[in-house]
Chains A and B, each alone.
Chain A
Amino acid sequence: MQLRMDDDEFDAYFENGEGEEDEDEEVDLRENPENANPEYELEREEGDSKSPEEFAKFLNATQFADEIKEYLKTLKFFEKNETTGDIVPTKSLLKTVNGFVIYLLGTKKIQKPVLKSLSAIFGRYDIFHYISTELVRKIGNLKDSRVNAWFNLFNFLTTISHPTDKITKPFFPQFCIRTPFSTKLMKKRKMLWIAADWDKVWMAIMTGTVNSKVSLKLIPYITEHVISKLKVPFKSADFFYKMFEKKDIHAILSLAAIFKLITEHNFEYPKFYEKVYSLMRPSLLYMDHKEKTLTLLDSFLSSTHIPNYIVASFIKRLARCLILAPVDAQEPILGLIRNLLVRHGNCEELVHREEPKSFIDDPFDDKEPELHKTKALDSSLWEMKLLQAHWNQSVRKRAHFIDKPQQKLESYVRFRCSDELFSVNMAKSFGGEDGEAEKYRKLQDGEEDNEDSRPPEPKKSRKKFGKFAAKHEEKEKIVKLVGVNSEKPTSILNRKTVTINVDSPILWKI
């Protein structure tokens, strides 16, 4: 006890929170009166312990934190090395650690709540010290085909926080007093070695062959939570390069990480925009994760210091993509294009040119990978003219921005997936119903609509108050007549295209 008190004083050096933790430890100690004698602890005979496989099975079977604790209480974790006198882990501890790792990287998928309760035991910094070394060893050999193992690993690691965020309670003091971590030296450098453990595991993952499904989740997590806490963030770049090679969404996600490295850690990455540019293809817009892609793209191009030719090329490329893009991508990209035009005033040339020149063919070269050779700045956004005939009304409206003077402010465009768009259209009121839903819808996205789809209305006469107010305002009822065909329908199969005079051969039969 005397010794602990000294340590406490020393620990105050670290953080205020530390003191509280130690109090908890004391509480734990009081709960375990039989462990009171530290010398006895180290010298007592090592009891039976389960082999790693057995322990893994045990974990698989129980999964209750209390039961595991009961078992752990029966174990002896540390012993004194006969020759050096250091306190070293016993075999049973190593077996336990091994067993946990085997369980974690097993074939069964562990549910998240279970993992959480496990990490309350095994995620504590002192035992994680041993687990991490074991994990690093195993990850190197882990094949990418083992989806569940990767998922378990990923989920487990997400529960473990970096010491700068939160330091967990130590694990061993629950069971014994004298541990290698209770020495002064270890206490002093606690932060350092905990962080090193953490770093080690993540780096191991990044060098490993990650399953592609897991990596979809892994990349954003690393980007957001891990990179900035690594000791040497650049080291993660290799991983992202590797991911970039995978094309499509992986590439985009890893680009996000690289973008973060560039902006926050002074990472040098030549031709970053060329890479992004090469990814922008219509097929990208047909995949899932459209929203993610588009927000990332927006953030890549958010800087106002990007050269004009890059922005112009991107605008042009996006416009080309739009020609083949599905509905849900149309509006956000149109919004993005317009925002880019606002952000980079010089690119207004693409829409409004003072002295319009004539060309044979669009000067923009779609296939040119080098951004400064695309001649996008000489081109114009003719694509918008086509989109003004789009089948969806709101897209049509949006595409009309090229006919209006430049906007002063950027406007936020919400991404709506096709399901949302569908329900918006279903919610629109039609004949007879009162326009509550309609009003609600207008309120929902009214801002955008008002901004760009309609010309500024003449000022409305002010509403009159007091005795001049209109006595009973007529409730506006939106009645849209539902059109019905006037002619009788012909057969289901023989609906001929009327207006197009193409003599097509008979293509279908019953």
Chain B
Amino acid sequence: MGIKSKPRKVNPFELKFNKSKHDILGRKKGAQVGAPTQSRKRAYEQREKTLGVEYDRKNKISKIVDKRVGERDSTKTDEEKTAMRFVEERTKNFKRAAKYNLGEDEELTLTHGGKALSDIEKYDKSMISDSEDDEDQISSKMVKIAHFGGGDEKSTEDKVKEKISREDMISNLIAKTKMARNEKQSQKDELEMMTENLDAKFSNLMQKLTGGFRPTGREKLEKDDFDKLAFTLKTESDPRATPANRKLTEDELAQEDRANLERLEAARLNSLKNSHQSVDMDVDVNAGKLAKERKNREKSERFEVRFNEDGKMIREEDSDEDEAEGSDEEEEEAEDSEEDLDDLLEEDEDELESEGEEESAEKQTKKKEVPFVFEMPKNYKKFCELLEQYSDNMSDVLERLVKCHHPSLKEGNKKLLNKMFLLCLRWFDDMSREDLTEQVIQEMDLAQKTMFDLLKFDIQYGVRCIRALIRQNWKNRQEKDKSTPASFSIISLLRLVAGLFPVSDIWHPVVIPAFFLATNVISNAKIANLRALSRQICLAHTILDYVSETRKYVPELVSFVKSALLLAISGEKEFSTSGFPITAPYSEMLVMQKPQKCAKIAPISISAIFDDEKSQEMSEDEENLKLSILRSICSLTQNLRVMYSSQNETYNIVFRPFLEILSKIDLSQLPTELSGEIDELKCAIRAECDQKRKLTQLSLKKTEKSMLKMLEPRFEWDFDPERPNKGKKWDEKKVMQKQLKNEQRGAIKELRKDTAFLARKQMSNVKSRDLQRKNATKRLMGGLMQQQGEWNKEMRTKDVETKKEAGKSGGKR
């Protein structure tokens, strides 16, 4: 230590001085003086310690580590080291020996349940209480007296006595202790008994509690409403607590319905039987008929020979198969493309015609009661027959048919229901072509209702059917009756569509085609007479229903109404739709020739205008019809006016012409009721027109273009133009780069030096080995030479001796 701290004496020849030629301001000066040899030596030593060691260990797997105590501590002297080693050795030996030395080990405490056993004993003692304590005291006293009798205040007599009765005393003592022990035992038993008893009671109680209650600790929380309620529900027999029947699913409901119906049917049949037994003639006849019919059917199933279209004989089964195939095909086709409804409907047209007669007999005996369970009719004819049979309770029949064939009940029921939809649609369509009576309309309503019910089972199929019907109507109109006015079947179809489907949808697969049909009819029909006109007006009202909610604009409707209104004025005019007559008597169809004084205007009779036969009757009160038509046109106009009142810009454009036409109508000829209505209408339109006269030219609403985000310029207040790159970040970066460069350079240098060192080391190794070998050779060679020399010497001496001897001998001789 002392040596190192001493300033080293430096050899001035080992120093190197750095001389700078120019001083540059602001540049750091490096070290002025350096000691290259010294530093080189230091580096060498360092390398020797690290790299050198590593190099030496190269290719060596293991190494010897000196683990002797204090060996590496250079501060200790050898003596100290040996002392340390001795101590170490002793302690080691001591420990090994002491392992089996029980007495000297630390005290062990026995525990029970985590508690020191001694504590538990103490606790037990306290339980046993004073009796033992007393006994102990007594006994110890006794023992004291017995053992250490002398030296006390006790009298000698006592001592004598004591001496005498020693045996007695001992026996006495023994008895005493025995007694005490007995007592203690009995006491202990009693206590045990009691605790056991209590334990049993407690466990009993606990059992009860765990059965029903929450742990008692929670009881405080029971103030909560929910808890109270739950508690009451648990304990008391609240009707709320007992579960009701669960809500049935749709399928189950259907099943129940069906079961219900079947039960009712069974009951009905039963009662029928009973009444039969009580000799009821009517029913008897009926039952007989039924039996006969059944027989007939069986017969026909077996023996009936029928002919198909080609004239070939076919058997019943075949035809059935055909039918089945047909229905399959129908489905497929329906999926591929919607074919004509005719195809859909008429394929089972000509089947089972032979049965008509028998059933006509049945028709006459109208049944009062309606059975509860029905088979699905196989074709349209049967369907009609079924309905006719129960013409009073059609709605019941249809409802029960639907219920009996709920799709959840059986596999093929969905198909049957689809078929039923088709049948209903056809029924509806057929009805719409018949003479219109109250009855027909009712039946159509019923069909509509049934279709509505059926639609929820298979919407797709229903949609397809109705679309097919629409398409069929469309085709008819395109080909045949291009310009006939709307028939009732078209109008009722349109109304059916409106009844089943939402007409306000943006696009609907049924409604939009229906709309096309309606507009086509209203714009193309030729209006030749009043009847045609009133039909078209009826259609116009239907179209109005379609758009009343959405307030969509229907140009065809507007132009129709406008053209229709033109019929009520005389003079030159131009119709907007093409179907209206141009020549004079017809183009003034609605102009009244003479003043009408009809008190009340009758509504238009639908049955009259759609029936060709009744048209003759109508011609009689043509004037009345004119009035009611005019009135309905006015109502149409009124509706249009209200409907399009939201169109601010175009209201004038659309309704001004209407106003002009209305004001040209000669009101003096009309009854007061109608003229009043027209006046009202005129006023309303005029007022609305005046209100909406103001127009503003159209302009493109320019959407505000969002500005590019402009950033405020950022000023650096301490900007120095001479060092534009100054700044903390930049400087740091620069410094880092410089450091990196330096480090890199240093590392390269170091590595180079390392290699140089290693090379040197290797060289020196090689050299030392060479030297060794040389020395060895030298030594060997030296030895050998010496040997040779010696041998030579010996040889020489021998020679000399032999010569000498020879000389000697020669001399001797």
- The residues of A with any CB-CB pair to B shorter than 8 Å are 281-283, 286-287, 320, 322-327, 330, 350-362, 379-383, 385-387, 389-393, 402-405, 418-419, 421-422, 425-426, 428, 430-433, 480, 482-485, 488-493, 495, 497-502, 504-510
Contacts of A323 on B, CB cut-off 8 Å?
Answer: 555, 558, 650, 653-654
Taking each of A283, A431, A507, which has the highest tally of chain B beta carbons within 10 Å of its own beta carbon? A507
Name the residue in A352, A354, A391 with the highest tally of chain B Cβ atoms < 10 Å from its Cβ.
Answer: A391
A350 to B698, CA, bound (A): 7
Residue of A nearest to B335 (CB): A433
Q: Which residues of B contact A386 (CB under 8 A)?
A: 553, 644, 647, 649-650, 653-654
Q: Contact between B635 and A505 (Cβ–Cβ < 8 Å)?
A: yes
8 cross-chain pairs, A with B, having the tightest CB-CB distances, nearest first: A489-B499, A382-B649, A430-B509, A352-B700, A286-B578, A324-B559, A386-B650, A356-B697
Shortest CB distance B658–A (Å): 12
- B188 interface contact, C-beta 8 A: no
B701 to chain A, nearest CB (A): 7
Q: Say yes or no: B574 contacts A380, CB within 8 Å.
A: no
18 A-B Cβ contacts within 8 A? A283-B575, A286-B559, A320-B653, A324-B555, A325-B559, A356-B696, A358-B696, A382-B698, A385-B650, A386-B650, A386-B653, A389-B551, A390-B554, A393-B512, A402-B698, A404-B700, A500-B642, A501-B642
Partner of B632, one of A405, A433, A498, A507: A507
Q: Is the CB of A286 within 8 A of B576?
A: yes
- In the assembled complex, the Cα of A385 lies from the Cα of B546 at a distance in Å of 21
Q: Chain B 441-454, CB within 8 Å of chain A: the 1/0 string?
A: 10011001100100
Chain A contacts of B575 at CB under 8 A? 283
For the complex with contacts A324-B562, A382-B649, A500-B548, 5 further pairs of A-B residues with Cβ separation under 8 Å are: A352-B700, A422-B516, A432-B460, A495-B499, A510-B438
Q: Which residues of B contact A419 (CB under 8 A)?
A: 474, 478
Which of A350, A389, A495 makes the CB contact (< 8 A) with B545? A495
Shortest distance in angstroms between A288's beta carbon and chain B's nearest beta carbon? Answer: 9
Q: In the complex, are the beta carbons of A484 and B574 less than 8 A apart?
A: no
B395 in the interface (beta carbon within 8 A): no
Residues of A within 8 A of B549 (CB): 498-499
- The yes or no answer to B520 lying at the interface (CB within 8 A) is yes
Task: Decide if A425 touches B513 in the complex (CB within 8 Å).
Answer: yes
B379 an interface residue at 8 Å Cβ cutoff?
no
Residue on A nearest B516 in the bound complex, by CB:
A422
Contact A509 B694 (CB under 8 A): no
B495 at the interface (CB under 8 A from A): yes
Interface flag for B639 (CB, 8 Å): yes
- B523 contacts A510, CB within 8 Å? no
Contact of A361 among B558, B576, B650, B652 (CB under 8 A): B652
Is the Cβ of B538 less than 8 Å from the Cβ of A508? yes
What is the bound-complex CA distance between A325 and B516, given in angstroms? 14
Question: What residues on A are CB-neighbors of B496 within 8 Å?
Answer: 489, 492
B502 within 8 A of partner (CB): yes
With a CB–CB cut-off of 8 A, which chain B residues contact A351?
698, 700
Residues of B within 8 A of A502 (CB): 635, 638-639, 642
Contact: B516 with A500, CB < 8 Å? Answer: no
Cβ-defined contact, A326 with B639, below 8 A: no
| Interface size grouping (class) on chain B | 35 or more
Q: In angstroms, how far is the closest chain A Cβ from the Cβ of B273?
A: 38
Residues of B within 8 A of A287 (CB): 578
Please tell me which one of the listed residues A357, A358, A382 contacts residue B653 in the complex, with CB atoms under 8 A apart: A382
Report if B455 contacts A (CB, 8 A).
Answer: yes
Q: Which of B460, B547, B649, B698 has the most CB of A within 10 A?
A: B698
Residues of A within 8 A of B554 (CB): 390-391
- B463/A286 in contact, CB under 8 A: no
- CB contacts (< 8 Å) of B460 on chain A: these are 431-432, 482
Contacting chain A: which of B117-125, B127-135, B600-608, B783-791?
B600-608
With the chains together, A422 CA to B510 CA distance in Å?
A: 11
**Interface secondary structure of B, over-half rule:** helix
What's the Cα separation between A425 and B471 when bound, in Å?
11
A393 lies within 8 A of B507 (CB): yes
B406 at the interface (CB under 8 A from A): no
A386 to B607, CA, bound (A): 37
- Given A383-B650, A385-B649: A282 and B559 interface contact (C-beta under 8 Å): yes
- Using Cβ atoms and an 8 Å threshold, which residues of chain A touch B551? 389, 499
Q: Is the CB of B694 within 8 A of A359?
A: yes
Set of chain B residues within 8 Å of A325, measured between Cβ atoms:
555, 559
**Known A425-B516, A497-B548, A500-B548; contact A489-B449, beta-carbon cutoff 8 A:** yes
Is A361's CB under 8 angstroms from B695's CB?
yes
**Selected contact of A390 from candidates B456, B552, B605, CB within 8 Å:** B552
Which of B445, B513, B555, B559 has the most A CB atoms < 10 Å from its CB? B555
Q: Given A323-B653, A498-B548, A485 and B501 touching (CB < 8 A)? A: yes
By a CB distance below 8 angstroms, the chain A residues around B441 are 491-493, 510
Q: Is the CB of A326 within 8 A of B701?
A: no
Bound CA span A386–B524, Å: 23
B515 touches A (CB below 8 Å) = yes
Given contacts A402-B698, A485-B452, contact A507 B547 (CB under 8 A): no
Q: Are B574 and A283 in contact (CB under 8 A)?
A: yes
Whether B509 pairs with A500 at a CB distance below 8 angstroms is no
Known: A281-B574, A356-B697, A358-B695. A326 touches B499 (CB 8 A): no
Q: Name the residue among A360, A392, A419 with the largest chain B CB count within 10 angstroms.
A: A392
Query: In the bound complex, do residue B452 and residue A489 qualify as a contact, i.e. CB atoms below 8 Å apart?
Result: yes
Residues in A neighbouring B370, C-beta threshold 8 A: none
| Complex contact B555–A493 (CB within 8 A) | no
1/0 per position for B739-774, CB-CB distance to A under 8 A? 000000000000000000000000000000000000
How far apart are the CA atoms of A361 and B517 in the complex, in Å?
36
Complex CA distance for A353 and B695, rounded to whole angstroms: 13
Chain B residues, CB < 8 A from A383? 650, 653
Closest B residue, CB atoms, query A437: B337
A495 to chain B, nearest CB (A): 5
Min Cβ gap B558→A in Å is 6
Closest chain B CB from A279 CB (angstroms): 12
Which residues of chain A come closer than 8 Å to B506, judged between CB atoms?
Answer: 393
Contact B697 A380 (CB under 8 A): yes
A493 CB contacts on chain B under 8 angstroms: 441, 495, 606
Contact (Cβ within 8 A) A495 B495: yes
B607: chain A residues within 8 A (beta carbon): 510
User: Chain A contacts of B438 at CB under 8 A?
Assistant: 510
Residues of B within 8 A of A485 (CB): 452, 499-502
With known contacts A483-B502, A484-B456, A391–B552 Cβ distance under 8 A: yes
User: How far is B545's CA from A493's CA once the two chains are assembled, in angstroms?
Assistant: 11
CA A263 to CA B499, docked complex, whole Å: 57
B556 interface residue, CB < 8 Å from A?
A: yes
Q: Return B506 CB to nearest CB of chain A, in Å.
A: 6
| Cross-interface CB contact of B693 among A326, A360, A422, cutoff 8 Å | A360
Any A CB within 8 A of the CB of B643: yes
Min CB gap A391→B, angstroms: 4
A320 to B650 alpha-carbon distance, docked (Å): 10
A contact residues around B505 at 8 Å (CB): 483
CA distance A305 to B632 in the complex (A): 50
Q: Which B residues from 68 to 86 make CB contacts under 8 A with A?
A: none
Chain B: minimal CB distance from A327 (Å): 6
Could you mark each residue 298-337 of chain B with 1 if its beta carbon is under 8 Å from any beta carbon of chain A, else 0? 0000000000000000000000000000000000000100
Say yes or no: A488 contacts B452, CB within 8 Å: yes
Known contacts: A389-B553, A390-B555, A391-B554. The answer to whether A353 contacts B698 by CB under 8 A is: yes
Closest to B605 in A: A509
Considering the chains assembled together, what is the distance between the CA atoms of A354 and B697 in angstroms? 10
Distance between Cα atoms of A352 and B576 in the complex (Å):
30
* Complex CA–CA separation, A392 to B512 (angstroms): 8
Contact, CB under 8 Å: A510 / B576: no
Q: CA–CA, A136 to B603, complex, Å?
A: 63
Q: Which residues of A contact B338 (CB under 8 A)?
A: 426
Chain A residues in 8 Å Cβ range of B606: 493, 508-510
**Assuming A426-B471, A488-B452, A508-B603, is B647 touching A385 (CB within 8 A)?**
yes
Which residues on the A side are within 8 Å of B644 (C-beta)? 386
